[in-house]
């Protein structure tokens, strides 16, 4: 055993096996080492691997834990180290009929869900403008997380006509999922819970097996996950949960902070162990993060400490604009790379929303700095990959109408919406899926002429590969589909740069398949298309973060959780952006935003840069800003750089923005408020009308957004200006916002 590598509190956590345990593990406190050593200690003290269940939230974390445990105890066959969704999937695959599903059920991702809802809205003649797809899916997800069936949800909203319509969509959505033999991600948890709740024998089977349960990132569990864990651990009480209430940042997607705060109420005999020594960050960064998070009231008291040096102070820069903000960040990265030999992958730019990445990309490209974006478009969401995945899903599940609709006309086979509708109607009348109707031959009657020939060829390809899938590797199935469907030929014939890029993505996907097959082979298993598709469906973009790739990483603060970088930049630290405007009106949301700030700050190991912009353009409007409340909560002794304006009362409700001098100007920052201001801007007062009238051809001018420029043309109403930054712009004299340079 290597317990001597653990500190006193870590050893205590690793050797306390029996009974309920709450391990409060602060950021960078070595919780993964503690958990793996705990599992190794259990095995070495006679506990069967078969009786151990360890659950975490990401595939990456589960893989890392499996590898570490294997290095300590050798073979771990029989032990479950997995994610919540993978655990439930594994249980459901064994007994799908118990929850009303057939074998080889599919897992629909967000794109599939949107397609399904859009089809329902169209059939019910409901406008997507009035019933946004994302909003409906959010409602459905909320219902499933809280075990609200369509019927139960309707009973709670009987007097709300709009909610009644949404309930109808929800009910039809569930019906179509079942008919396609498909589940969404929420279904994996919901049906996993149902499997245990409605089948005493199955619950007892898993209770007998998993006598010792460990849960990582317990602060991120939702209601369903909480119920599943509680059901499994209730009999033996040997449950160990690890987490940090200060890092609960996913309440918007169902995480319930009370699960960790109330653990001692659920398990009254629980012992609490705090891991407070941080091994990641220097002293000043930890002190800064603490000075922010201690303003939260809904938390368990603790304070991280380190035996590392204090290190550099936290750097703060108050930029003039968002362009100056991006310029500063790119410049500092270049300076540290050249002057102090930091590698490109030592740097991370963490922002509150994906929309903030655009300006940073531009300035990094201008300086030739390599970068990669996480949490933008998922690699697997690219059209060509979604198309091929749809083909592969039809091979294993002919009931999947969503996949058929996606690719029956990719490549083009002359099938329009009307023809497809005829096929759908014909199949429905016979109680079949569309693919089943085609495979049985009856569905072909919906087509004529050349289209019939093309669809017959399409059907023959699916039939041929489906019949042979047990004799083919995943790579072979993929290659057959690429060629026999005509997809590669279509892209080659297109002969464009875009098509070439799509072909490259398809070839890169072969590498993903090869990696999967190699892993399976090394573990002594056999590669199967269904197994590969399941792994693909459960994969998150952050799981693919390659720490060895030498490039600056751009990602949202949410996506950065669990990662660390020597140098971190946090831009956009302004009220209305971070914290967001809605959080400033709701104390619970504000506390979650503050936890997010804490998480972002504690990603930094050596250097932390905080940046705000005095003037920012959002939603087409340029406004002065006020420095973030989180900046004002920072201990000033820890800051190096621009002074942070601290009014006598920095607390307040609503969005208050301030100039560089700290004088607040109340302006809305919500997108839906912009229309009102757009209308108001047309009501020009006399002063505004004079604003552009004093400039003439040949004048050097300055614009609040475009910078310096030269007036090259003038007429009664407009000025044409050649700007250094954006080239030629025609501006209305009355609202030009110009001054002489």
Active site residues: 31-32, 216-217, 247, 603
DSSP state, residue 579? T
What is the rounded distance in angstroms from the CA atom of residue 572 to the CA atom of residue 77? 47
Residues 6+ apart with CB under 8 A from 396: 104, 106, 466, 469, 529, 530, 533
**Phi and psi at residue 663, to the nearest 5°:** -85, 120
**Rg of the chain over all Cα atoms, to the nearest angstrom:** 29
3-state secondary structure of 710: strand
d(CA 415, CA 411): 10
Beta strand pairing call for 52-56 and 21-25: unpaired
Rounded Cα distance between 199 and 187, Å, is: 17
Cα gap 397→149, rounded to integer Å: 26
| Cα 564 from Cα 561, distance rounded (Å) | 8
For 514, the token pair is 């090869």
Determine contact, residues 316/610, Cβ cutoff 8 Å: yes
Continuous segment of H or E residues that includes residue 108: strand 106-108
Q: By the 8 A CB rule, do 193 and 210 touch?
A: no
Count the Cβ atoms, other than its own, within 10 Å of residue 284: 22
Evaluate whether 391 touches 403 at the Cβ level (below 8 Å): yes
Question: What six digits make up the tokens of 69?
Answer: 């445990």
Please state the separation of Cα 13 from the chain's center in Å. Answer: 31
Integer distance in angstroms from the first to the last C-alpha of the chain? 72
Does residue 411 have a cis bond before it (omega within 30 degrees)? yes
Q: Are 65 and 36 spatial neighbours (Cβ–Cβ below 8 Å)?
A: yes
Q: Are 233 and 54 in contact (CB under 8 A)?
A: no
């Amino acid at each position: 055993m290597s317990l001597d590598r653990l500190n006193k509190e870590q050893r205590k956590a690793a050797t306390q096996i029996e009974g309920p345990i709450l391990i409060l593990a602060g950021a960078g406190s070595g919780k993964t080492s503690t958990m793996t050593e705990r599992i190794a200690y259990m095995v070495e003290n006679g506990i069967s691997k078969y009786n151990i269940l360890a659950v975490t939230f990401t595939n990456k974390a589960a893989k890392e834990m499996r590898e570490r445990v294997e290095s300590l105890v050798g073979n771990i066959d029989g032990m479950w180290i997995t994610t919540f969704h993978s655990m439930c999937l594994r249980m459901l695959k064994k007994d799908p009929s118990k929850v009303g599903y057939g074998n080889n059920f599919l897992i629909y991702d967000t794109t599939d869900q949107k397609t399904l809802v859009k089809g329902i809205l169209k059939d019910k003649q409901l406008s997507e403008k009035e019933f946004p797809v994302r909003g409906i899916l959010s409602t459905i997800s909320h219902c499933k997380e809280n075990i609200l069936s369509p019927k139960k949800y309707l009973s709670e909203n009987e007097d709300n006509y709009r909610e009644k319509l949404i309930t109808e969509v929800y009910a039809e959505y569930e019906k179509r999922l079942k008919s396609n033999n498909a589940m969404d991600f929420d279904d994996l948890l919901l049906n996993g819970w149902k499997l245990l709740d409605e089948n005493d024998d199955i619950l007892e089977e898993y209770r007998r097996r998993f006598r010792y349960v460990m849960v990582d990132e317990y602060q991120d569990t939702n209601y369903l996950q909480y119920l599943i864990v509680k059901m499994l651990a209730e009999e033996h009480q040997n449950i160990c949960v690890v987490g940090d209430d200060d890092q609960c940042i996913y309440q918007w997607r169902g995480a319930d902070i009370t699960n960790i705060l109330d653990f001692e109420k659920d398990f009254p005999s629980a012992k609490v162990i705090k891991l407070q020594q941080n091994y990641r960050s220097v002293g000043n960064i930890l002190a800064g993060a603490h000075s922010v998070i201690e303003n939260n009231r809904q938390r368990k008291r603790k304070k991280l400490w380190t035996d590392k040096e204090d290190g550099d102070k936290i750097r703060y820069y108050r930029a003039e604009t968002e362009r100056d903000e991006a310029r500063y960040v790119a410049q500092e990265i270049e300076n540290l790379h050249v002057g102090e030999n930091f590698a490109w992958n030592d740097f991370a730019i963490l922002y509150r929303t994906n929309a903030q990445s655009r300006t940073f990309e531009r300035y990094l490209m201008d300086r030739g700095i390599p970068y990669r974006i996480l949490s933008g478009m998922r690699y697997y969401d690219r059209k060509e990959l979604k198309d091929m995945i749809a083909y592969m899903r039809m091979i294993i599940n002919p009931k999947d109408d969503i996949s058929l609709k996606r690719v029956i006309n990719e490549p083009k086979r002359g099938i329009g919406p009307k023809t497809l509708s005829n096929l759908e109607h014909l199949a429905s009348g016979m109680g079949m899926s569309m693919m089943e109707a085609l495979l049985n031959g009856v569905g072909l009657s919906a087509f004529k002429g050349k289209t019939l020939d093309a669809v017959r060829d399409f059907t023959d390809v699916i039939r041929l590969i489906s019949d042979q899938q047990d004799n083919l590797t995943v790579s072979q199935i993929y290659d057959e589909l690429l060629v026999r469907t005509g997809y590669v030929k279509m892209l080659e014939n297109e002969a464009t740069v875009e098509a070439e890029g799509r072909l490259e993505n398809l070839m890169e996907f072969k590498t993903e398949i090869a990696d999967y097959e190699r892993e399976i082979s090394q573990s002594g298993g056999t590669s199967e298309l269904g197994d590969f598709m399941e792994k693909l469906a459960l994969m998150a973009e952050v799981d693919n973060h390659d720490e060895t790739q030498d490039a600056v990483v751009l990602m949202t603060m949410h996506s950065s959780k669990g990662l660390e970088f020597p140098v971190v930049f946090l831009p956009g630290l302004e009220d209305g952006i971070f914290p967001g405007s809605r959080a400033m009106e709701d104390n619970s949301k504000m506390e979650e935003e503050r936890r997010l700030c804490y998480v972002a700050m504690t990603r930094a190991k050596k250097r932390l840069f905080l940046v705000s912009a005095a003037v920012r353009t959002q939603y087409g409007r340029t406004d002065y800003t006020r420095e973030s409340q989180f900046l004002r909560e920072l201990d000033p002794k820890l800051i190096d750089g621009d002074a942070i304006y601290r009014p006598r009362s920095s607390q307040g409700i609503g969005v208050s923005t301030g100039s560089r001098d700290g004088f607040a100007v109340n302006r809305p920052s919500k997108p839906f408020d912009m229309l009102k201001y757009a209308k108001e801007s047309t009501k020009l007062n006399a002063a505004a009308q004079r604003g552009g009238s004093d400039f003439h051809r040949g004048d050097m001018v300055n614009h609040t957004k475009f910078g310096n420029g030269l007036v090259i043309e003038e007429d009664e109403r407009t000025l044409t200006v050649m700007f250094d930054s954006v080239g030629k712009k025609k501006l209305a004299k009355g609202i030009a916002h110009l001054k002489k340079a």
